[in-house]
Structure 1
């Protein structure tokens, strides 16, 4: 039996952990066919089948599960050892993968990412923006960025960017000749621009005032899935939209939009970067968190 290479074993662990050749190939930056050939070669070297494969699924054989159980801690220790060498050189290096929602990605790109890349040119930063909340461990990310209330309880959360506030906005032309809503229930008499969440569900507008909390599935004949589009539709007079304040701020300043129900729209905890509590924190992520905290103090 010829000895497999470290790359062979890392490829095996990636496929095993993600139970998908496609996901593992994307994370490793190789083609699916190349990864498949690597695994076939590894099985040939070991003279044992490691995976059960069908057109729809990938699962470990008994031998594959035994190998992963022994190999996982070894690869983890190796990552830590290599990370220690990176620290000895005095500068983090390697890959850093962060999954963020659109708001979080915008803030990071404006305030943190440029400085981080200047300080740590040997780090390859992969910042992916998507609306749905993903399992960052399963998808191979080092960290995620979401509203604090959406961060899984078993994660370490680092707040940044301050509180956020969702506001109800409309064009003056839409409100002209209509009674302004004074309570959330008054929205039932208006045309609202509804929002489709990444999960596919329609968002119920959430309001609170003096301890009273209300969630409404508002009426309306237009549903969108992007805050920028919601703001633009409201400015075009299509109805009332409910969006994070920073998305509407430019059009509010230009008086193309005005707010309604202000006293029902208090601030709430904002964004947080989060990462697994039980895993070793690689030096690029530690450096990114340190810089994030430094920039946040300067805001």
Structure 2
């Protein structure tokens, strides 16, 4: 029996963790047929079937589950040993993949990324900006960035900035036509600019005050899938929008928008970098976190958290889970 190679074992672990030959091949940077060939060769050399395969799913067999359980700690120890040897500043190599929304990725590009790439030119930094909330482990990411309350409970989170607020805003022209709502339920008497989430669902607006939480499927004839466009629509007098405050602060400053229901819009945890806490931390991610900590004041200064302006209704980051 020929002995499996290290590449064969890494291929097996990738398929086992991603539960998909396509995603595992993308993660490893190889062609799917090459990955399938490697797994077949591994199964032939071991004389056991490691995966149940169908056209729709991939699942570990009992033998595959036992093998993964034995390999995981061994491979983590091996990776740690290699990183200890090669992980000195300037000599770090490999790929670091981070998933976040566009606001988060933009923050990294303006603060951490230039310094990190200068320190570690051998690291291939792969930043993916998307609106939907993904399983970073299943999708092959080393870390993710989302609002604090959207971070899964089994993840380790590192705050990137102070708390933020979501707020309801409307133009003075719109509010001249009807009284500003004083409680969330009053929104049912207004024209609201609704939001379509990346998942396809429509976002139900969430408010809270003194322990009371209200969730409303607001009425409206206009639905958008962009915070920036919702702000533009509100400026144009098309209704009330509910957006992260950083998107609206410029229009609040110059009076094109005013905030309503301000006392129903508490601050919530801001952006956090998060990663699995039950796995060996890759040297690249550890170096990235060290760079964040070194630039902490700069990151916090530029993080989207501008304070809410006091509203005076004038007369002429994404639902939290997916932002």
Q: Same fold (TM over 0.5)?
A: yes
CA–CA distance in structure 2, aligned partners of residues 52 and 125 of structure 1: 33
SS in 2 for 1:165: strand
- For the 8 Å contact 2:98–2:142, the answer to whether it is kept is yes
Match of 1:238 in 2: 238
Match of 1:145 in 2: 145
- For the 8 Å contact 2:193–2:230, the answer to whether it is kept is yes
Match of 1:71 in 2: 71
TM-score (normalised: structure 1): 0.90
| Structure 2 gap segments, 5+ residues each | 302-323
Distance 1:49 1:211, change over 3 A: closer
TM-score (normalised: structure 2): 0.84
- For the 8 Å contact 1:86–1:283, the answer to whether it is kept is no
Deviates more, 1:131-140 or 1:9-18: 131-140
CA RMSD for the aligned pairs? Answer: 2.2
Match of 2:38 in 1: 38
CA–CA distance in structure 2, aligned partners of residues 52 and 276 of structure 1: 26
Match of 1:252 in 2: 252
- For the 8 Å contact 1:49–1:63, the answer to whether it is kept is yes
Match of 2:185 in 1: 185
Aligned residues: 299
CA–CA distance in structure 2, aligned partners of residues 90 and 117 of structure 1: 9
CA–CA distance in structure 2, aligned partners of residues 210 and 108 of structure 1: 35
Residue 164 of structure 1: how far off its partner (Å): 0.7
CA–CA distance in structure 2, aligned partners of residues 211 and 64 of structure 1: 48
Residue 11 of structure 1: how far off its partner (Å): 0.7
Deviates more, 1:8-17 or 1:204-213: 204-213
Residue 195 of structure 1: how far off its partner (Å): 1.8
| Structure 1 gap segments, 5+ residues each | none
Match of 2:222 in 1: 222
1:61-116 superposed Cα distances (whole Å, 9 cap, x missing partner): 34333332322222111111111112346643221111213332222222222222
CA–CA distance in structure 2, aligned partners of residues 35 and 232 of structure 1: 48
Residue 210 of structure 1: how far off its partner (Å): 4.4
- For the 8 Å contact 1:160–1:293, the answer to whether it is kept is no
Match of 2:160 in 1: 160
CA–CA distance in structure 1, aligned partners of residues 209 and 7 of structure 2: 57
Distance 1:211 1:69, change over 3 A: closer
CA–CA distance in structure 2, aligned partners of residues 244 and 289 of structure 1: 26
Trace 1:82-121 onto structure 2 (pairs within 5 A).
Answer: 82-88=82-88, 91-121=91-121
CA–CA distance in structure 2, aligned partners of residues 165 and 214 of structure 1: 16
